[in-house]
Copies of this chain bind each other. A is one copy, B any other.
Amino acid sequence: MAKMLFGVDLGGTTVKMGLFDETGTRLHEWEIPTRKENSGEQILPDIAASIRETVKERGISEADVLGVGIGVPGAVDAAGTVLQAVNLGWKNKAAGHELSQLTGYPVAVGNDANVAALGEAWQGGGKGFQNLLLVTLGTGVGGGIIVDGRILTGATGAGGEIGHIHLEDHETEPCGCGRYGCFEEYASATGAVRVAKRVLMETAEESTLRGKEFTCKDLFDAAAAGDAVAKQATEKYGDYLGKGLAVCASVLNPEAIVLGGGVTKAGEVLFDLLMPSFERCVFPGCADVVWKLATLGNQAGIVGAAKLILDRVEG
């Protein structure tokens, strides 16, 4: 029988879980609620119980289970200890050790954004590339870096947190991280709206966006419909996006950059918008990047978690 992997994506509301074979084929997928009471002490027992139940129900032989990978919304050290996961109420929690004790299987733990990047690299938009940057353009900007097929974790699990590279010296509004002028303040969905509001303030030109609240989607829809101010705003958005990605590419020299998250619903136009400033700013030796859209959506987490444990047990 094929060897089996469990991939777990631990979120603040639900725990997504998947059963995979070694080639990454998804055999089963389900979710359970995240019980956060009492500093989240029930989360790991719940996950372990659900895994054991699945093994039993499906008649899987214990010997065929290679292990469990889990992505966690927080900083994780190399030993699988979650240093801090605010949304779960965890602090210095030896999650890898505990879940291994509870299940009897080997367990690998990673930061959720990094694990999702690994999933896209294995089975999604980055399939076939060993060196890539995944960027999630959502409420914030998340990132994950894959080097020679492995996650770049960094010293404290914050490797690939590219949403907070410094891009603007003269920003007056603080980023969520407390600094000013972070990439995320411009390149996230929220950032796109902020950029557009500033463009609206700088011109008196008519626009369908003027005088009302609007979303990132509204902005891109208005631009697609020919609204000149909205077009100008999406170009400015693309300018920031391309510049930030150029900086990352010049540091990392990736084979591919994979874009995911809500903003990418705008589609391939994003590449047209970011390319002029990317080309202007990137080191020529790093300019030859393959551009891809993420394909796994919110399944990237369970896929990447399965790959995380596969890499661990295979060395």
Contacts and interface: CB of A to CB of B under 8 A. Distances in A.
Given A283-B177, A284-B178, A152 B156 contact: no
A255 B246 CA distance: 24
Interface stretch (A25-33, A100-108, A160-168): A160-168
Contacts of A148: 150
Given A166-B247, A247-B166, A159 B253 contact: yes
Q: Give the interface size bracket for A toward B.
A: 35 or more
A283 B179 contact: yes
A277 to B, nearest CB: 9
Interface in A237-288: 243, 246-248, 250-255, 280-286, 288
A145 interface: yes
Interface string A131-151: 100000000000001011010
Given A166-B247, A179-B283, A283-B161, A254 B154 contact: yes
Contact of A288 (B147, B156, B169, B286): B156
A70 to B, nearest CB: 20
Interface string A271-315: 000000000111111101100000000000000000000000000
B285 A158 contact: yes
A251 B134 CA distance: 12
A131 B158 contact: no
A75 interface: yes
Contacts of A177: 283-285
A155 interface: yes
Contacts of A71: none
Contacts of A243: 166, 169
Nearest to A278: B166
Contact of A285 (B131, B156, B181, B246): B156
B247 A158 contact: no
B253 A161 contact: yes
Q: Which of A164, A280, A282 has the most CB of B within 10 A?
A: A164
A155 B254 contact: yes
A157 B252 CA distance: 10
Contacts of A155: 131, 253-255, 286, 288-289
A248 B250 CA distance: 10
A276 to B, nearest CB: 13
A251 B286 contact: no
A255 B243 CA distance: 26
Contact of A154 (B158, B162, B247, B252): B252
Contact of A283 (B164, B281, B286): B164
A156 B280 CA distance: 19
A165 B250 contact: yes
Which A-B residue pairs are the 9 nearest by beta carbons? A154-B253, A164-B283, A166-B281, A158-B285, A155-B255, A158-B253, A159-B253, A165-B250, A165-B247
